[in-house]
Amino acid sequence: MKRKILAYNFEFSETLDRLRDRFDVEIFERINPKTDPAFLHALKTAEGIVGLALPVDKELLDMAPNLKIVSNNSTGFNNLSIDEMNKRGIMGTNTPGVLEDTTADAIFGILLAAARRIPELDQFVKTGKWKQHLTRKEYAIDVHHKTLGIIGMGKIGSLIAKRGHFGFDMDVLYYNRTRNLEAEEKYNAVYSSFDTLLMESDFVCLMTPLTPETENIMGEREFKMMKKSAIFVNGSRGKTVDEKALIEALRTNEIHGAALDVFQIEPVRADHPLLQFPNVVTTPHVGSSTHETELKMAKLAVENLEAGLTGKRPKNLVNPEVLD
């Protein structure tokens, strides 16, 4: 009898076929894991879960007595209640080292889009408003030779710095828990205090992981410290930003604009105030969403799952203490 695996929001047929050869796989997409009866029933016998953004908390774990591993198809794993999983001896894995360049492309892309007003001016053309030479009210702002401030100089932050430094001759400031000497050497990045970065940057790019320390790291005080000509870019997690404070900063012209790939609640509702500003570029958490990168992540998620279920140490174990 094959061991039961649940695939949650995991839509890659190439990797699912590989799993089906060895396991009994049940697929669940776009369901509420708190209430879906088929999912709740399947949890009772599941030994592994692979997928994206499933809230793995005490409530779910109490219903999954046979669970041995949860393989996240993402770099982040804040959806996993690690303490609860450790109590039960359940492994958790993620898929790092795959999406960094792709995400850096996307975040620098929305930075460019906000600065050059690309979505707004795209609609300007498509709705027939382009009838004469542009006037000052349609002008955008330059990116080259400006100052890029990066909060969180990890792998993705470093690659954003690379794009800014080599592609646009930007000066790079960064704030991080520890100094990134490699980024300083390669991209002339300058280690800065948090407040100095906010005050001196033309683009403030937030790339921190979500932790208790970084939740709402950008709030009313921080937006007021930014230049009125600056653009705020969030490629981290929605809860790193106080959205009410951001809305107020945009409403009162405390900052020039914003580019957001993440929101506190996703999918963002259609009537969300942030969607009403023409100077805010929004994308639906697309950082890693290319065919090539998502397939690489899916394959790695499956490899982690298979290792955990066959007595091997998964390559990307996020709670190694569970093996002690």
Contact 43, 60 (CB under 8 A): yes
What torsion, rounded to 10 degrees, do the Cα atoms 62, 63, 65, 68 define? -90
pLDDT tier, 324 (very low <50, low <70, confident <90, very high otherwise):
confident
> Distances in Å between the alpha carbon of 253 and those of 156, 181, 247, 256, 282?
29, 36, 10, 6, 18
Q: Confirm whether 177 is a catalytic residue.
A: no
- Judgement on whether residues 16 and 147 belong to the same structural domain of the protein: no
**Residue span of the structural domain in which 63 resides:** 4-98+292-323
- Judgement on whether residues 11 and 111 belong to the same structural domain of the protein: no
- Judgement on whether residues 162 and 86 belong to the same structural domain of the protein: no
Is 25 contained in some domain?
Answer: yes
Closest CA to 292 of 73, 13, 99: 99
Q: What's the pLDDT score for residue 170?
A: 98
Tally the residues of the chain.
324
Q: Confirm whether 266 is a catalytic residue.
A: yes
As a whole number of Å, the end-to-end CA separation of the chain is 29
Close Cβ partners of 166 (under 8 Å, ≥ 6 residues apart): 187
Asked whether the predicted pLDDT for residue 113 surpasses 90, the reply is yes
Q: Confirm whether 237 is a catalytic residue.
A: yes
Is 287 contained in some domain?
Answer: no
- Judgement on whether residues 164 and 266 belong to the same structural domain of the protein: yes
pTM for the model stands at 0.86
pLDDT tier, 15 (very low <50, low <70, confident <90, very high otherwise):
confident
- Judgement on whether residues 214 and 318 belong to the same structural domain of the protein: no
Number of domains into which the chain is organized = 2
Q: What's the pLDDT score for residue 58?
A: 97
Of the residues 117, 165, 237, 256, which is catalytic? 237
What CATH code is carried by the domain that includes residue 9? 3.40.50.720
Give tens-digit pLDDT for 62-110.
999 999 999 999 988 989 999 999 999 999 999 999 999 999 999 999 9
Q: CA 57 to CA 80: how far, in whole Å? A: 7
Tell me whether the omega of the peptide bond preceding residue 267 falls within 30 degrees of 0, making it cis: yes
Tell me, what DSSP letter sits at residue 154?
Answer: S
Of the residues 29, 59, 266, 292, which is catalytic? 266
Give tens-digit pLDDT for 290-317.
999 999 999 999 999 999 999 999 999 9
pLDDT tier, 18 (very low <50, low <70, confident <90, very high otherwise):
confident
- Judgement on whether residues 57 and 157 belong to the same structural domain of the protein: no
Of the residues 117, 163, 256, 285, which is catalytic? 285
